[in-house]
Amino acid sequence: MVESVFPKRTSIVRRRFVTGAAALSCGAAVFPALARKATIESMVSAELPEAASSFLLNVEKIPVRVGKQHAKGVGINGSLPAPTLRWREGDTVELQVRNHLHEDTSIHWHGIRLPADMDGVPGLSFAGIPAGETFTYRFPVRQNGTYWYHSHSGGQEQAGLYGALVIDPADKPAYTADRDYVVLLSDWTNADPMDIVSNLKFDGDYYNFRQRTVGTFLHDIRKDGLMASVRDRLAWGGMNMAPTDISDVSGIIYTYLMNGRSPAKGWVGLFRPGERIRLRFINAASMTLFDVRIPGLTMQVVASDGNDVEPVPVDEFRIAPAETYDVIVQPTTDEPYTIFVQSEDRTGYARGTLATHDGLLGPIPPMDPRPLRTMADMGMGSMKNMSMTGEPKSDPMAGMDMPSHEKTTPDSQSVEQDKTVHHHAAMHDMDMSNMAGMDMGNMDMPGMSMHHSMPHEGSSSSIKEQRAVSGSPAAMPETQPAKLKTGVEVQSLAPQPQNRLGEAGDGLDGNGRRCLRYTDLRALKPWTDPREPSREIVLHLTGNMERFIWGFNGKKFSEAEPIRLMLGERVRFVLINDTMMEHPIHLHGLWSELENGQGAFQPYKHTVNVKPGERLSYLVSADTPGLWAYHCHLLYHMDTGMFRTVVVS
């Protein structure tokens, strides 16, 4: 394996190291499809196309040039990323997908609620599209908003087979804007996705150079003959040898793209001062969480995963792979504004500019310090939020200056009101689900008794309220992870998983900006299924970083039974993240109603990002029969086991 791996890696590292600092200022990374269009045209290319109901999509190999490197990607109709599709709610769409590759392909319509056989997951909802053949997707469009589509076959998603999907509402849109742009974010690599998996299996920190010692780093460089570039690389990356566990795959091999454009130039969206601009952010990256901000502008978050929410003014938000957020901005001056999108691990960024005319580029701010994982990320509770006696503070954000988050008050009030109930509920919950898997050795925390170690800190959402209400035997968890123990597939268990919905995420909280939190998301319309859930399905997100094995409840997909739901039933999924990484969990075909404390106005999502050491829950109405995929949307986590089948029958 090493033999086959290292030659490839040499070229990867060479490209990145050679272009590292330079590419950011002068290298070109233009995809042919976009390059064919002149500059001004490429600027309008992220504007929405005409809505249509019939499409012919040719999946094909596409030459790609990033810097001086030529590579092959997978795109559609000569375009990589694949073209933006615009549909109308109420239409029946028909999409003929013709496979010009020498391997199977597939298109999954991400977040779209449709018959299971149209969902596009090979081996689950259909057979896949063999080389040379055409498959016709046909289904009614019953929703509106910002979504996307991508391949569910092998590494094709990493290789470029993803595109934006915008659906016009049947009624008047909740929010109007003068301009409407898609901002599709992705992570490009010239490496073969299958090689990335084997490299990660070989060494979980393979792409995490900043975790290596100076010695091994230099050894690698010497081996690769890249001494000349070491200094540049060190300067650019601000080499820091402290341990870090942020991303599995990093800017070492990724170039971060905005609408297919590298940071060298970035994408440009035109505007006139005073206009309202809607930006539809889609994270189509395979492995990268992004932090998005536009220095000088406040963003009003108006939709999440395609669903309208009450406007939330923010300076910054984190977007996990597969999530979408719509924001509205209104620049009043004619200066250029940079859309600055850092990877969570701060090893690179994508960027674009909102400008009044072609050729204007906004300034690039310095990258923020890279986040460091904390006790909370290890599921050890949050020390900063615990008093000496171990009593929880009611509001995890207390003491932080977050002027725009008016909803902090109602949240913390509800915690106060329900404190007794919470405590009881938390203990009940611990008894039922967490005790079995707890490593008591980890509980040796001075000043904290077992009693105070319950996962109640910051539990401002309705989880506990709901559980108190539904705490009858009938509502006992049914899918319990039977005695989870640490081992090969479970490197660690979170002794104190906690509600972290009121946190923006590692590296964001306390950075001086108003950062979006899940608790801020409040749907414009109340939920359509007010029933209480009849049972809970508890899933631990587990893994072993060293071996790059990921799973639910300590099991890989290949070892696990499907999750069975009865058609029409309403259930609560409880997710407990025992790992030190975020996992954006995506349920196909059904909505996930995030229990974020907004009651009947909880937001509908298709992808829920679970922070390290976090426990969260969402409700699911099993209203569409069939086999549905359920998985982490980090491509290589899904690939190595964090995947389940959900059967609705």
Minimal distance, residue 199 CB to Cu ion, in Å:
17
Interface size with Cu ion, residues (CB under 5 A)? 5
Piece of the chain touching Cu ion by CB under 5 A; list 60-68, 175-183, 524-532, 638-646:
638-646
Minimal distance, residue 185 CB to Cu ion, in Å:
18
Quick count: other Cβ atoms within 10 Å of Cβ 546?
11
Minimal distance, residue 550 CB to Cu ion, in Å:
6
Residue 256 burial (10 A CB sphere; 0-12, 13-18, 19+) = buried
By C-beta, is 358 or 546 nearer to Cu ion? 546
Residue 483 CA to residue 488 CA, distance in Å, equals: 15
Minimal distance, residue 632 CB to Cu ion, in Å:
3
Say how far residue 395 (Cα) sits from the centre of its chain: 25
Q: 210 by DSSP, 3-state: which?
A: helix
Which of 184, 632, 646, 648 is close enough to bind Cu ion by CB under 5 A? 632
Piece of the chain touching Cu ion by CB under 5 A; list 102-110, 120-128, 338-346, 639-647:
639-647
By C-beta, is 397 or 575 nearer to Cu ion? 575
Residue 227 CA to residue 14 CA, distance in Å, equals: 10
Under 8 Å between Cβ of 549 and 488: yes
Q: Is 583 in the site for Cu ion (CB under 5 A)?
A: yes
Q: What is the largest CA-CA distance in the chain?
A: 67
Residues 30-89 that bind Cu ion (CB under 5 A): none
Q: Is 634 in the site for Cu ion (CB under 5 A)?
A: yes
By C-beta, is 182 or 632 nearer to Cu ion? 632
Residues 425-484 that bind Cu ion (CB under 5 A): none
Beta bridge partners of 576: 540, 615
- Exposure letters 23-49 (e unless 16+ CB within 10 A, then b): bbeebebbbebbeeeeeeebbebbebe
Residue 164 CA to residue 167 CA, distance in Å, equals: 10
Piece of the chain touching Cu ion by CB under 5 A; list 14-22, 28-36, 246-254, 635-643:
635-643
Residue 74 CA to residue 5 CA, distance in Å, equals: 22
Site string for Cu ion, 543-572 (x = CB under 5 A): ------------------------------
Minimal distance, residue 634 CB to Cu ion, in Å:
4
Residues 355-394 that bind Cu ion (CB under 5 A): none
Piece of the chain touching Cu ion by CB under 5 A; list 173-181, 343-351, 438-446, 575-583:
575-583
Site string for Cu ion, 270-309 (x = CB under 5 A): ----------------------------------------
By C-beta, is 9 or 110 nearer to Cu ion? 110
Piece of the chain touching Cu ion by CB under 5 A; list 136-144, 203-211, 242-250, 577-585:
577-585
Minimal distance, residue 633 CB to Cu ion, in Å:
7
Q: Which two tokens stand for residue 132?
A: 């040379």
Under 8 Å between Cβ of 603 and 93: no
By C-beta, is 301 or 632 nearer to Cu ion? 632
Residue 168 burial (10 A CB sphere; 0-12, 13-18, 19+) = middle
Tell which residue, 491, 393, 480, 376, has the closest CA to residue 430. Answer: 480
List alpha helices for 602-641, DSSP H.
Answer: 635-639
By C-beta, is 17 or 643 nearer to Cu ion? 643
* Tokens 């829950």 -> residue: 617
Q: Is 587 in the site for Cu ion (CB under 5 A)?
A: no
Cis check for the bond before 81: say yes or no (omega within 30 of 0): yes
The distance in angstroms from the start CA to the end CA of the chain is 43
Which of 98, 152, 464, 637 is close enough to bind Cu ion by CB under 5 A? 637
By C-beta, is 93 or 200 nearer to Cu ion? 200
Amino acid occupying residue 313: P
By C-beta, is 180 or 345 nearer to Cu ion? 345
Minimal distance, residue 167 CB to Cu ion, in Å:
27
Q: Which two tokens stand for residue 498?
A: 């906690």
| Residues at the site binding Cu ion, with contacts judged by CB under 5 A | 583, 632, 634, 637, 642
